[in-house]
A and B are shown apart, each in its own frame.
Chain A
Amino acid sequence: MDSASLDLKVGFEIHQQLATRSKLFCNCSCEEAQKYDHSFVRKLRPTQSELGAYDPAAMFEFSKMRTVEYHTAFGSSCLVEADEEPPHDISKEALETALIFSLAFHSKVMDEVHVMRKLVIDGSNTTGFQRTMLVASGGHFVVAGKKIGVQSICLEEDAAKLIGDEKGVRKFGLDRLGVPLIEIALEPVTGKSDDIMLVALTLGRLLRASKLVARGLGSIRQDVNISVQNGAVVEVKGVQQLDQLVKVIEHEMQRQHGLIVIAEKLKGRKVDVSNVGDKIEDITDILGKAQSKIVKKILDVGGLFKAIRVPAFAGMIGFEPYPDIRIGKELGKLVTFYELDGVFHSDELPNYGITEQEVAAVRSRLQASDNDAFVIVGGPKDRAKFACDAIIRRLQAAVNGVPAETRAATQDGKTMYLRPRPGAARMYPETDIPTIPVTDSMLNALSDKVPRSWDEMVDSLAKKYNLNKKLASQIFDSNYLGVFEEIASATKVQPTFVASKLTEDLIGLQRQGLDASILSDNLIKDIFAKLDSGSIAKESVNIIFERLMKNEARTVDEAIKAAGVSTINDEELGKGLDKIINDNIAVVKEKGMSALSTLMGRAMAEYRGKADGQKINAMVKDKLQKLLK
């Protein structure tokens, strides 16, 4: 598929946490909580004018009257996060950071910044809105010699962290709520997905080079607005990694084009979508005896089944212009929003334990012709009704190709329906906080704090620690720059060794499926402190990484013990090597000095991680020379 012929447009919105000492509107720390010690429950409801506007997502959330459970920890949240105290004055540090970035991107800073409330009622904000402000608009940065336009730079509060979502109760941790975020929205860019990725990569590097932003998993989140020719804009949330981004763009390009192909076919059939759902029947009795597990599960909890007639759609719901891209799949994901999982359509039936007779009975109940399709949805009565409405709207939208919606990126680089796209953002002023004038003298005072470029920063890092440029850029781009610099200055371990362990070796272990997020900075520092003091050998570093990442040990000491890699002293080592030489004396006699490689093989097998390889090599060589004399 060709991105140019499809007129692929990608707009990034990058949300980057700032590395400030405190949150945006209170003095709590931005540190992640290790454990929560207090909780409370709330219910959010749409506000009066929200209720009037037909926003299916808000109405549905409200109809569920979800209970939201908030968990808090001392130090990382206070009454402000609990929505029990008005916001404090804005963090000067956060505002200045946003202004510094605005200067770095050559953006026009607003004369006066107004804090706004953006309504969000999924529970991720205790207030029911996110505080956000436009700091600057316009501007650019350069990627591979090309100017990339900046649309806007906003400063806003991060949302609470979802820590659980069980039936009816959504749980959030408040430690992340209120952490300052800078949101940078770029002008849509065109080109191949690789070029587009370079834009995101460069922007990320620019931010990190400032050292004003937080690092680590979840500290940067990207929303990506993706559209192709003749399609609406689809917002994809939660793209965390760049390699995932390329896959997401390619998947969306294919999905959106697929939907357009389907739309063209429907238009070719002259389908009148206003007829979709012209007949909806309760078919609980027909499926009552079905051998389907999903059906039984729904009936067991008192659910019902509705069938929706979809005139002239036969064959179109299951039609796949590309592998796995079909309307039926979109419907399946759509109903999960309503917490349902029982949706079937006529193009895939009989199947799933639903028989041909049952299909025929549904068809006759709906008076559906062979040219018509139907969709069955099952679940509790109230939710099934919401789902029916949503399914009808989705099928009607099929004739227009790509519906504007918000989707979530999955780990494997696909996207999944999340919710309808909000209409024009419903924003109103945050009246608790006065407007903030930004004067020229404020900006002048910040102008010498504008960060150097990524290249300059990497060069200076390479020079300072005597690293080659590749290694310097890898460690700079990694999540370990801070801990690397601490180790390099606190120990005598070669910086090149530390950097390569923290980049290439860790990436290698992650590729084997191990989880690097378990390795805290403190664990990493401990490993290199032990290496520095000689209590472990260089070869043991990866062994210890692996034990920790596999969760086989919680501390470095436990890992050393479990792996048996504590070092032995020279005397013991000498004795051990003597034994190896004696055991292999025949080889020594036969090969002379050439026996060294055999002996080293045996020695390393015995002492890997317990003694330094170079030292073992020197000792074996020495002993061999003496013996042969």
Chain B
Amino acid sequence: MSRHDTGGYRGAGLKLLSKHGVSVGDNINVGTEDGEMSGILMPRYESANEDYISIKLKNGYNTGIHVGKIKSMKKLSRSEPAIIAKPPEMAQNKSLPKIALISTGGTIASKIDYRTGGVHAALSASELYASVPELANHASIEPVVLLSEYSENLKPEHWTMIADKVVEKVKSGKYLGVVVSHGTDTMHYTAAALSFALQGVTIPVVLVGAQRSSDRPSSDAALNLLGATIFGLKSEYAGVFVAMHAGTSDDAIACHIGTRVRKNHTSRRDAFESIDATPFALVRNNTVEMQKSEIKLTKRSEGNLAAKTKFDDRVALLKYHPGFDPRLIEHAAKVGYKGIILEGTGLGHVSKECFPALKKAVDTGLMVCMTSQCIWGRVRMTVYDTGRDLLDIGVIPLSDMISETATVKAMWALANSKDAKKVMQENLANEISKCIPI
């Protein structure tokens, strides 16, 4: 029996429950040296201490009872799952423009089970309309659940799956836009991956996530989803975007270019920021407000989708720091990596102690590129000796490409081009800024 089947119980707790034939959801009465308590047996969370059992008391509070103090246990009845009234059926207006919603998991698609306290994926069309009823005023949404993963578990092979699914939706010609719901932790990696894989896409592809789960009344999920949908419907421009809160207030959603965006905060709603650029657009009061931008995107339908959805995951992102051990570079070369993205200091530097290891790596055919850990600004490796020496070794400067975007691009370039080094220096999807606004 797995821990899932036992409601997370194990050890002493599980033994006691088995002995009394009690399982999660049963109404029980527990006698201890201090008296009796009645309630519904609740599941234990993964990390919770195994010496306690959890019950929900009549007043709604949960509490834990130490197994060692339990003198008696009686099963009173099997509690029926709480009858939660179904959300009112929202009539879908099929004549409204269509949006495809591809769900990949993460906070935005998670829902709490009030009876068990567990969180599970839920994004059926009716649940979606129930939690964001305003959606039904704007679009007819066709949801599909592709993955149910926290985004830290996503790999380059998942990018391929997501890209292929988007291609299918785009090619169907049925939709004004595609919205991809995604865990936020690596959403900017996926955004970059789709940006390279779906060059020439003819409709907006909008990634959206939530920093607060949708079981909370304060969740940002609804507004983000609404913003992503509105942008998908109304944007004049095609491309890959990330739509998230523009600030801490629930008033505007920022739509960032897929290669220019980064998660810059662990928990804030406005964690996603455009780097070296202003957000491409804001959605406020159901209206798309274009922002001043140096970046020119192709308009809807003007592109020519040339999907290349493969990735080669043999790329390492190495962050340089004082005390950095050059043997890490040697090791990467030895175990078969094809590319290294360095996150150097300042204008694009690493200590001269790394020079021999880098030279050896480049000489054996590895692609070694330089980005900056400063996050904002370009690398410029002609200013100091160190930079010039690195250029001589063959390290490729990547201008103001964000290091995460550079890593994804290297994986894509190695899988789709014979001359990845050349590709890395070309501006394919606005990953390099022409001008950085003041």
Given A53-B84, A79-B267, A434-B48: A45 in contact with B60 (beta carbons within 8 A): no
Q: Does B385 contact A (CB under 8 A)?
A: no
Closest 9 CB pairs of A and B: A128-B217, A112-B64, A134-B61, A52-B85, A427-B60, A114-B62, A111-B66, A425-B60, A429-B117
B59–A43 contact, CB under 8 A? no
B296 is an interface residue with CB less than 8 A from chain A: no
Contacts of A47 in B (CB 8 A): 131, 214-217, 219
Smallest beta-carbon distance B79→chain A, Å: 13
**A residues in contact with B284, CB < 8 Å:** none
Please give me the residue from chain A that is nearest to B222 by CB atom.
Answer: A45
104-131 of chain B: CB within 8 A of chain A: 111-112, 114, 117, 119, 122, 127, 130-131
What is the minimal beta-carbon distance from A78 to any residue of chain B, in angstroms? 11
Contact (Cβ within 8 A) A114 B57: no
List A116-169 residues whose CB lies under 8 Å from chain B.
116, 118-119, 121, 126-129, 132-134, 138, 152, 154
- C-alpha gap A50/B131 in the complex (Å): 10
Q: Number of A interface residues, CB 8 Å? A: 51
The distance from the CB of B433 to the nearest CB of chain A, in whole angstroms, is 29
Interface of chain B residues 326 through 377 with chain A (CB within 8 A): none
CB distance from B24 to the nearest CB of A (A): 14
**A437 at interface, CB cutoff 8 A:** yes
The answer for the CA separation of A273 and B267 in the assembled complex, in Å, is 53
User: Is A46 interfacial (CB-CB < 8 Å)?
Assistant: yes
CB < 8 Å: which of A44, A48, A429 contacts B218? A44
- Contact A84–B269 (Cβ < 8 Å): yes
Verify if B250 is at the interface (C-beta below 8 Å from A).
yes
Report the separation of the CA atoms of residues A427 and B249 in the bound assembly, to the nearest whole angstrom: 26
CB distance from B136 to the nearest CB of A (A): 14
B63 in contact with A110 (CB, 8 Å): yes
- A44-B218, A128-B218 given as contacts; is B59 within 8 A of A111 (CB)? no
A-B contact pairs, 21 of them (CB 8 A): A40-B247, A45-B131, A45-B217, A48-B87, A49-B84, A52-B85, A84-B267, A85-B267, A108-B34, A111-B52, A111-B66, A112-B63, A112-B66, A116-B60, A128-B218, A138-B35, A152-B59, A426-B60, A426-B114, A427-B61, A427-B62
The reply to whether B52 and A40 form a contact with Cβ atoms under 8 Å apart is no
CA distance A434 to B61 in the complex (A): 15
| Complex Cα spacing A427 to B223, Å | 24
- The answer to whether A44 and B217 have CB atoms under 8 Å apart is yes
Does B218 contact A52, Cβ atoms closer than 8 Å?
no
> Which one of A113, A114, A424 has the greatest number of beta carbons of chain B within 10 Å?
A114
Contacts A41-B251, A425-B59 given; does A48 touch B268 at CB 8 Å: no
Chain A contacts with B in 28-53, Cβ cutoff 8 A: 40-53
A83 interface residue per 8 A CB criterion = yes
Q: Are A126 and B218 in contact (CB under 8 A)?
A: yes
By beta carbon, the residue of chain B nearest A68 is B250
B34 surroundings in chain A (CB, below 8 A):
108
Cα of A134 to Cα of B56 in the assembled complex, Å: 11
A138-B35, A426-B114 given as contacts; is B63 within 8 A of A41 (CB)? no
Rounded to whole angstroms, the CA-CA distance of A48 and B126 in the bound complex is 11
Interface centre among B45, B86, B112, B122 (most CB of A within 10 A): B112
**Cross-chain contact A49 with B114 (CB below 8 angstroms):** yes
A152 to B248 CA separation, bound complex (whole angstroms): 37
**Neighbouring B residues of A352 by C-beta, 8 Å:** none
Please report which residues of chain B, range 75-94, place their CB below 8 angstroms from some CB of chain A when the two chains form the complex. 84-88
Chain B contacts for A79, CB-based, 8 A:
267-268
| Chain B residues within an 8 Å CB radius of A112 | 49, 52, 54, 63-66
B69 touches A (CB below 8 Å): yes
Cβ of A515 to closest chain B Cβ, rounded Å: 35
In the complex, B212 has a CB within 8 A of chain A: yes
Question: CB-CB < 8 A to A512: which residues of B?
Answer: none
Residues of A that sit less than 8 Å from B by CB: 40-54, 79, 82-86, 108, 110-114, 116, 118-119, 121, 126-129, 132-134, 138, 152, 154, 424-429, 431, 434-435, 437
- Of residues 201 through 229 on chain B, the ones whose CB sits less than 8 Å from some CB of chain A are 211-212, 214-219, 222-223
- Assess A48 versus B48: contact at CB under 8 Å? Given A43-B223, A53-B84, A79-B268: no
Find out whether the CB atom of B250 lies under 8 angstroms from the CB atom of A435. Answer: no
Q: Which residue of B lies closest to A117 (CB)?
A: B216
Q: Is the Cβ of A116 less than 8 Å from the Cβ of B62?
A: yes
Whether the Cβ atoms of B117 and A42 lie closer than 8 Å is no
Contact between B217 and A435 (Cβ–Cβ < 8 Å)? no
Across the interface, name the chain A residue whose C-beta is closest to B65. Answer: A111
CB distance from B54 to the nearest CB of A (A): 7
Contacts of B153 in A (CB 8 A): none
Q: How many residues of B contact A (CB 8 A)?
A: 51
A111 vs B49: C-alpha distance when bound (angstroms): 12
List, in ascending order, chain B residues with CB within 8 A of A425's CB: 59-60
- Taking A112-B54, A424-B60 as known contacts, 11 extra A-B pairs with beta carbons closer than 8 A to each other, sorted by chain A number, are A45-B131, A45-B219, A86-B267, A112-B49, A113-B64, A114-B61, A114-B62, A132-B61, A429-B62, A431-B45, A437-B64
B47 within 8 A of A: yes
User: Chain A residues near B49 (CB, 8 Å)?
Assistant: 112, 435, 437
| Nearest CB of chain A from residue B177's CB, rounded to whole Å | 23
Bound Cα distance A43, B132 (Å):
13
B69 close to A111 (CB less than 8 A): yes
> Among B64, B65, B212, which residue has the most Cβ atoms of chain A within 10 A?
B64
Q: How far is the CA of A83 from the CA of B52 in the complex (A)?
A: 30
| Cβ-neighbour of A114 out of B63, B69, B248, B268 (below 8 A) | B63
A118 nearest CB neighbor, chain B only: B60
Are B117 and A134 touching (Cβ within 8 A)? Answer: no
Q: Distance in Å from the Cβ of B218 to the closest Cβ of chain A?
A: 5
Residues on A with beta carbons closer than 8 Å to the beta carbon of B222: 45
Nearest residue in B to A429 (C-beta to C-beta)?
A: B117
Chain A hits for B214, CB < 8 A: 47-48
Q: State whether A428 touches B87 (Cβ < 8 A).
A: no
> Which among A44, A48, A114, A134 is the interface contact of B127 at CB below 8 angstroms?
A48
Residues of A within 8 A of B88 (CB): 51-52
C-alpha gap A11/B216 in the complex (Å): 31
A116 pairs with B218, CB closer than 8 A: no
Q: Which residues of the other chain, A, contact B45 by a CB distance below 8 angstroms? A: 431, 434-435
What's the nearest-Cβ distance from chain A to residue B151, in Å?
17
**Contacting residues, chain B, for A119 (C-beta < 8 A):** 217
A46 contacts B217, CB within 8 Å?
Answer: yes
Whether A437 and B61, one on each chain, are in contact in the complex, defined by CB atoms closer than 8 angstroms, is: no
Partner of A134, one of B48, B59, B66, B268: B59
Among residues of A, the one whose C-beta sits closest to the C-beta of B61 is A134
Max chain A Cβ within 10 angstroms of own Cβ: one of B60, B117, B130, B214: B60
Interface core residue of A127, A133, A429, A431 (most chain B CB under 10 Å): A429
Cβ–Cβ contact A51 & B218, under 8 A: no
Q: Which of B57, B66, B84, B268 contacts A84 (CB 8 A)?
A: B268
User: Chain A's nearest CB lies how many Å from the CB of B108?
Assistant: 13
**Complex alpha-carbon distance, A152 and B84, angstroms:** 28
CB of A51 within 8 A of CB of B60, answer no
* Distance in angstroms between the alpha carbons of A112 and B53 in the assembled complex: 9
Tell whether, in the assembled complex, residue B61 and residue A133 are in contact, meaning their CB atoms are under 8 Å apart.
yes
Check A54/B63 contact, CB under 8 A, given A47-B217, A112-B49, A428-B114.
no
- The residue in chain B whose Cβ has the minimal distance to the Cβ of A154 is B61
Contacts A41-B250, A108-B34, A437-B52 hold; do A52 and B217 have CB atoms under 8 A apart? no
Most chain A CB within a 10 A radius of its CB, from B65, B111, B219? B219
- For residue B131, which residues in chain A have a CB less than 8 angstroms away from its CB? 45, 47-48, 51
